[in-house]
Structure 1
Amino acid sequence: MAASVTSQDMPAGSNKRKRVEEEDGAENTSRAAPVQQPSKKKKKKRSKGAKGGDEYDANKVMGKDGGIDESIGKMDGKLLGDYFVQRVKRHNKNLTAVELDDFYIPEHAFLDTSSWESSRELDNMPSFLKAFSPEKGESLSKASEVKGSPHTLVVTLAGLRAAEITRALRQFQNQDCAVAKLFAKHIKLREAQETVEKTRIGIGIGTPVRLNDLVKSGSLKLDSLKRIVVDGSYVDQKKRGIFDMKELHFPLMEFLNRAELRERYQSRKSDKVQIIVY
């Protein structure tokens, strides 16, 4: 019968080698531990986060009180039309291709402003409007004699921003032409209706929802309208622009696609309306 071998029967050198091998193995394991794999997982996680985020964030130059999405100003009419409908699709993933067509704004509705070389910061908005208006913007300080019938509407994302734009465009105001803020948290719809109905407005500034409400009520008239300026380049401190928020983008598209406006986008007469994205 073969004798069993115990640690006492084994040579001392063999035990020493065994301990060395075990220690080497433990050391190698501890060296391998600085875990390359979790590092890879972290990278994957970050990559996934970047992909899942807003692909336009890289173009958003931020400041203390907000920022500018530089990509917006580089788009011509065709790109803007595609961009608008892409955002609709992003916010409403269940829409069919046929339903998306109802939101598509034709290329000829947009005035191409990609030639504008200066920043689209708020301080430059007056100069921008002058550059892309007839007679170097002289008509911007004139208003229709019909009250509540502006030639320009600026659509923006919030009441605070509307107030800032109103201040920036005050240079176009005079006793016969008001630059009117149509939305703020403290301005109720009824109050805005009364203001519009008794004021000769040249330029009106408001949010998509408020503008829709004023038009539907009959207070705000579109007969003299020449341009709709979408405050598209501005993003707030959370890097959100008017195209990024579903609760704003859908009312914006609803307003821009009003039947009486769509007919005038392609008009060659004096009633033509153009969409200008700032």
Structure 2
Amino acid sequence: MHLKACFSLKRPFCKTRCQPRYQPCPRQRRPPSGSAGTPGPARGQCAGAAAVAAWGTRWRSRGGTPRPGRAALQPTECFLSQPEEKQESTVKAKRRKKKKISDVLQKSAPKPGVPADLQNLLTQHFGENRSVIEIEELQLSDSCFLTANDLTHSFSSYLKEICPKWAKLRRSHKEKKSVVMLVLCSSALRCLELIKSMTAFKGDCRVLKLFAKHIKIQEQINMLEKGVFHIGVGTPGRVKALVEQDALCLNSTKYMILDWNWRDQKLRRMMDIPEIKKETIDLLEKSIIKLCRDGSVKLGLF
């Protein structure tokens, strides 16, 4: 009965649960009682249990460990240890602080614009896409420029200095769709400021607002066709659009003033704003530079 239980595949242990499955019961190969180092089973003890104890003694004498019993074969909970993440250094590389125009102006006083600034601007803008001959055609001589503002003049005093014979020019101008003096600014608000500041200069001459804020281009076209205006103050984008539509003719224009030195709330000049810069250069290239080279238009930097 005992042997049958030990070799049965349905039950992995014998009835006394002294040996793992598929092993013959130690009772079959029990050493003879009285042999050296193998004491016999105690009274009331299974022969298999006694044999297991003898095997454990033999394993320990050889430096090994006895085979674990059923209690030691119970499954144990296993935890997977995750690799420790390396702590990123909290100290980041310092970025180089970009210089602002306000920092530059705090260290040095603003410099007034000169004709060379406009020449350099045109050269830098067309230098990559134009040949040397084409760039030379865009260059203007010093005779094409008026005296630049040295930051000490108001707008009226500057206009009186560059145009001492304004009264005569105003009386002789009777052409429609044209102006004698054209002033370009960076914004509509700046245009209104300059119109107010030229009261002492303009007298009774008519001034036309040439900007897009609250004024439709068709209204400006109708005003140019019906009336005679002496001064036009506007933005480069709207003036360019009027010239392209043949609503504004520059053949009668004698003076063109760029509001070069004024800075807005962000301390940007007229040519520091990309959109205004592009539209101004396009207007100069298509119409103004040719008239300046012919000697009919003078450029001024206020």
- SS of equivalent residue, structure 1 residue 239: coil
| 1:73-105 C-alpha deviation (Å, 9 max, x unpaired) | 3x2x3343113443x37xxx9x43539838944
Task: Tell me the distance in 2 between the aligned counterparts of 1:105 and 1:209.
Answer: 23
Identify the residue that residue 211 of structure 1 maps to in structure 2: 239
Task: Tell me the distance in 2 between the aligned counterparts of 1:165 and 1:205.
Answer: 8
Instruction: Determine which structure has the larger strand proportion and give its number.
Output: 1
Task: Tell me the distance in 1 between the aligned counterparts of 2:106 and 2:241.
Answer: 31
Return the offset for 1:153: 0.3
- SS of equivalent residue, structure 1 residue 129: helix
- Residue identity over aligned pairs, in percent, reads 25
Residues 1:148 and 2:177 are matched in the alignment: yes
Identify the residue that residue 264 of structure 1 maps to in structure 2: 291
Return the offset for 1:266: 2.5
- SS of equivalent residue, structure 2 residue 167: helix
Task: Tell me the distance in 1 between the aligned counterparts of 2:232 and 2:207.
Answer: 6
Q: Is the 8 A contact 1:155 1:205 kept in 2?
A: yes
Structure 1 residue corresponding to 2:147, chosen from 110, 113, 128: 113
Q: Is the 8 A contact 1:151 1:203 kept in 2?
A: yes
Q: Is the 8 A contact 1:170 1:179 kept in 2?
A: no
Q: Please tell me whether Structure 1 or Structure 2 has the larger radius of gyration of its CA atoms.
A: 2
Identify the residue that residue 80 of structure 1 maps to in structure 2: 118
Task: Tell me the distance in 2 between the aligned counterparts of 1:127 and 1:60.
Answer: 28
Identify the residue that residue 234 of structure 1 maps to in structure 2: 262
- State the Cα RMSD in Å: 3.3
The amino acid across from 2:189 in the alignment is: L
Listed as ranges, the matches of 1:105-184 within 5 Å are: 105-108=139-142, 110-114=144-148, 116-119=149-152, 124-135=154-165, 137-139=166-168, 141-142=170-171, 144-173=173-202, 177-184=205-212
Return the offset for 1:134: 4.0
Task: Tell me the distance in 2 between the aligned counterparts of 1:262 and 1:85.
Answer: 13
Relative to structure 1, the CA distance from residue 103 to residue 183 in structure 2 (aligned partners, 3 Å threshold; closer, same or farther) is: farther
- SS of equivalent residue, structure 2 residue 230: strand
- SS of equivalent residue, structure 1 residue 201: coil
Structure 1 unaligned spans of 5+: 1-36, 62-68
Task: Tell me the distance in 1 between the aligned counterparts of 2:189 and 2:140.
Answer: 31
Q: Is the 8 A contact 1:179 1:204 kept in 2?
A: yes
| 1:217-265 C-alpha deviation (Å, 9 max, x unpaired) | 2221112101110011111101122101111111101111224x33331
Task: Tell me the distance in 1 between the aligned counterparts of 2:170 and 2:201.
Answer: 5
Task: Tell me the distance in 2 between the aligned counterparts of 1:239 and 1:117.
Answer: 18
Identify the residue that residue 74 of structure 2 maps to in structure 1: none
- SS of equivalent residue, structure 1 residue 262: helix
Identify the residue that residue 110 of structure 2 maps to in structure 1: 70
Identify the residue that residue 275 of structure 1 maps to in structure 2: 299
**Higher relative CO (CA 8 A, sep ≥ 6), structure 1 or 2?**
1
Q: Is the 8 A contact 1:149 1:222 kept in 2?
A: yes
The amino acid across from 1:215 in the alignment is: V
The amino acid across from 1:265 in the alignment is: C
Return the offset for 1:275: 1.1
Relative to structure 1, the CA distance from residue 145 to residue 186 in structure 2 (aligned partners, 3 Å threshold; closer, same or farther) is: same
- SS of equivalent residue, structure 2 residue 271: coil
Task: Tell me the distance in 2 between the aligned counterparts of 1:140 and 1:233.
Answer: 27
Tell me how many residue pairs correspond in the alignment.
211
Task: Tell me the distance in 1 between the aligned counterparts of 2:280 and 2:209.
Answer: 17
Listed as ranges, the matches of 1:54-69 within 5 Å are: 58-59=104-105
Q: Is the 8 A contact 2:144 2:297 kept in 1?
A: no
Residues 1:45 and 2:96 are matched in the alignment: yes
The amino acid across from 1:71 in the alignment is: K
Relative to structure 1, the CA distance from residue 183 to residue 117 in structure 2 (aligned partners, 3 Å threshold; closer, same or farther) is: closer
- SS of equivalent residue, structure 2 residue 232: strand
- SS of equivalent residue, structure 2 residue 231: strand
Structure 1 residue corresponding to 2:224, chosen from 189, 193, 196: 196
The amino acid across from 1:106 in the alignment is: L
Structure 1 residue corresponding to 2:129, chosen from 93, 96, 100: 96
